[in-house]
Chains A and B, each alone.
Chain A
Amino acid sequence: MSAIILLLLGLGGMAAGYFVYSRFIASRIYKLDPNFRTPAHEYEDGVDFVPTNRYVLWGHHFTSVAGAAPIVGPAIAVIWGWLPAFLWVVFGTIFFAGVHDSGALWASVRNRAKSVGALTGEVVGGRARTVFMIVIFLVLLMVNAVFGVVIAKLLINNPGAVVPVWGAIAVALVIGQLIYRRIIGLGLVSILGVAALYSLIYVGPMVPVTLPDQVMGLSANASWILMLFAYAAVASLLPVWMLLQPRDYINGLQLFVGLILLYGAVLLGNPQVVAPMINSDVPAGTPSLLPLLFVTIACGAISGFHGLVASGTSSKQLDKETDARFVGYFGAVGEGALALAAIIAATAGFASLADWQAVYTAFGQGSLTAFVDGGANILANGMGMDVGVAATLLTVMAALFAGTTMDTGLRLQRYIFQEWGEIYQQKWMTRPLPATLLAVLSCLLLAFGAGGADGSGGLLIWPLFGTTNQLLAGLTLLVITIMLVKRGRPAIYTLAPLVFLLVMTLFALLIQLKSFYEKQDWFLLGLDLVVLVAALLVTLECTAALKRAFKAPPEPL
């Protein structure tokens, strides 16, 4: 089958979702009001609260939520065939992610732009807030550990990408200085920065860098992971304007360039999908599609992380309440489009079914490597690019996404440790350096604990990451649902996704618990149990809070 059909169906479905379903949700359920005075106007301070042009706001909402996760998830999940992943991404975006993201914006805007964390405390209860903190910590922990492992793997698979991936940091540092010190304007800086990055990508394959197999008793993989975390620790301690801000900016540009290139190459080259529609011959040890599909693809179908972005920063800048539809829902559509590109690259970028099967030899295989290799072939055929350069381009794109998530994630984890230090009166823990070290240590423990001494098996925790991410989404959906019930509006559009997510999450955790037990992997078993407890707490909170909400008479709001 031609990949163009997949592309058109997917994008068409999501566009219909935006034009039809989101219009219904915005006008009938959330009842977005163009005359409502948003917090950006109410508390305008030029710093946090600034009414922002909706296209700009969409731009950075989208680029903050889209990263490596919507690529990794689908690129793993196609092991069950392209259809299940495709359906979950398209329908997930339409009925889950879009509703969740725009709902999080709405909920926050209606509550003085408070974050979902604070809202859970206020709307649901104090206990729920504690659960929320634990879930967030787990999400950050897992995402940092997994991304460290993933980037290391990418760098080993594509030695040509080592120079541009690390060189991009230097480019970002220079850009940061140029802009912060107002040496030259943003437009020129962007052109120079992108030109520098792409010349590095072009040069990269000519100067491949490989680490020796053993450095001080560590495998190449383990050395890269340690270096990445050392980098992330330093980066997370630097002032944001120095590295994080210019990096995010370059990543944003890269994201658009990458998407346009990939979609353009599919249209020009018309690659064929070689992977089976439904894989009846999955490798031994692959868990069953139901429920694992729904936690393997979190970002790209629905992700709790979006709620954090929506309620943390975007809601403070929303000019009109009605913009929540464009920023939130269309942001989710953008992420769905990225996930769709990942599905196409990982299923249509191979010459034959045998080639595809050679990559997907076990669950957790494929992932970013399949995206990079498959995508490179598509780019080479469609755009006439050199395969090596194309692979480097995609590797750099994926590694930059994952890298930025890592240093943001470590920064957030550090804040959590600092907050705990304050709560439990541990003065040393409130300082940035020790808190960062604790964050790094916990991530390394997970990366090596799950993957053995060479850190190679880190992707085993990917579905667990998906699970915690879904729990976070569940909590946000709970807040939205309760707000809807209190206003006497139909709650089914958020309640149904909430119930579906909780059921799938609990089901997936139990299945994984069994498989970890059978493999006698006590470390992952313990982790699974922790997440399971969190999931049960979330479920109990949901039931109790909903019961209370349904019993109480609707408030006139």
Chain B
Amino acid sequence: MTTPTQWLKRISDLGAQYYNAPYRAAIARAKRDEEDLFMLLVFSEMMGVPNPAAWSTLELQPLLMERFHDWHTRMGMERSPLDHFRCC
């Protein structure tokens, strides 16, 4: 037996799918663009671009390591652009 609350949840799930499905791709692309910019900011110092917030972004680097490889391949660089920062 499904309760009215379950029904309501199901309906709102379907509604959310209806709202999101047509634009999932476009929004994911936009999010990725934002993220790419963020990656550039975080890793800018290593590529010789001065970054006044380097002290803070340095802390973030280990957290972004996993995404680093995806990012540099997406930017058209087959190998890691940083000499001391190998990922592949």
How far does the alpha carbon of A56 sit from the alpha carbon of B15 in the complex, in Å? 8
Indicate if the CB atoms of B26 and A240 lie closer than 8 Å: yes
Q: Tell me, yes or no, whether B28 is within 8 Å of chain A by CB.
A: yes
Closest to B32 in A: A47
Contact B27 A240 (CB under 8 A): yes
A-facing mask of B1-42, CB < 8 A → 1, else 0? 000000000001011111101111111101000000000000
Question: Known contacts A47-B28, A186-B12, A239-B30: does B18 contact A245 (CB below 8 Å)?
Answer: no
A48 CA to B29 CA in the complex, in Å? 10
**A56-B17, A186-B15 given as contacts; is B22 within 8 A of A248 (CB)?**
yes
**Contact present for B17 and A52 (CB under 8 Å):** yes
Nearest chain A CB to B57 CB, angstrom units: 25
Report the separation of the CA atoms of residues A239 and B23 in the bound assembly, to the nearest whole angstrom: 10
Q: How far is the CA of A244 from the CA of B19 in the complex (A)?
A: 11
Categorize the interface residue count of chain B: 10 to 19
**Could you give, for residues 13-53 of chain A, a 1 whenever the CB lies within 8 Å of some chain B CB and a 0 otherwise?**
00000000000000000000000000000000011101011
Closest chain B CB from A344 CB (angstroms): 28
Are B18 and A50 neighbours in the complex by a CB distance under 8 Å? no
Q: Indicate if the CB atoms of A241 and B19 lie closer than 8 Å.
A: no
B16 proximity list for chain A (CB < 8 A): 186
Does any Cβ of B come within 8 Å of A375's Cβ? Answer: no
**Which of A53, A239, A245, A249 is the one whose CB lies under 8 Å from B14?**
A53
- Answer whether residue A64 sits at the interface, using C-beta atoms and an 8 A cutoff: yes
Q: State the CA gap A47–B28 with chains docked (Å).
A: 7
- Contact across chains for A64 and B22 when beta carbons are under 8 A apart: yes
Contact B26 A56 (CB under 8 A): no
CB distance from A404 to the nearest CB of B (A): 12
Within 8 Å CB of A60, what residues of B? 18, 21-22
Whether B15 and A187, one on each chain, are in contact in the complex, defined by CB atoms closer than 8 angstroms, is yes
> How close is A3's CB to chain B, nearest CB, in angstroms?
31
Q: Is the interface of A mostly helix, strand, loop or mixed?
A: helix
List A contacts of B25 (CB < 8 A): 47-48
Min Cβ gap B65→A in Å is 22
Q: Say whether A313 contacts B30, CB under 8 Å.
A: no
Interface: A317 (CB within 8 A): yes
How far, in Å, is B13 (CB) from chain A's closest CB?
Answer: 9
- Is the Cβ of B17 less than 8 Å from the Cβ of A53? yes
Taking CB as reference atom, which chain B residue is nearest A252? B18
Q: With A55-B14, A56-B14, A239-B30 in contact, do A47 and B19 touch (Cβ < 8 Å)?
A: no
Chain A contacts for B12, CB-based, 8 A? 185-187
> Are B23 and A56 touching (Cβ within 8 A)?
no
Q: A186-B16, A190-B15 are in contact. Are A48 and B24 (CB under 8 A)?
A: yes
Answer yes or no: A266 CB below 8 A from chain B CBs: no
Taking CB atoms, residues of chain B closer than 8 Å to A313 are 22
Query: Do A50 and B26 touch (CB < 8 A)?
Result: no
Q: Complex Cα distance A18/B19, Å? A: 27
**Closest chain B residue to A55, Cβ basis:** B14
In addition to A53-B14, A313-B22, 20 A-B residue pairs with Cβ atoms within 8 Å of each other are: A47-B28, A48-B25, A50-B21, A50-B24, A56-B21, A60-B21, A186-B16, A186-B19, A187-B12, A190-B15, A239-B27, A240-B23, A240-B26, A241-B23, A241-B27, A245-B19, A245-B22, A245-B23, A248-B22, A317-B21
What are 14 A-B pairs at a CB distance below 8 A?
Answer: A46-B24, A47-B25, A55-B14, A59-B18, A60-B18, A60-B22, A190-B15, A239-B26, A241-B27, A241-B30, A244-B23, A249-B18, A313-B22, A317-B21
A contacts, CB < 8 Å to B: 46-48, 50, 52-53, 55-57, 59-60, 64, 179, 185-187, 190, 239-241, 244-245, 248-249, 252, 313, 317
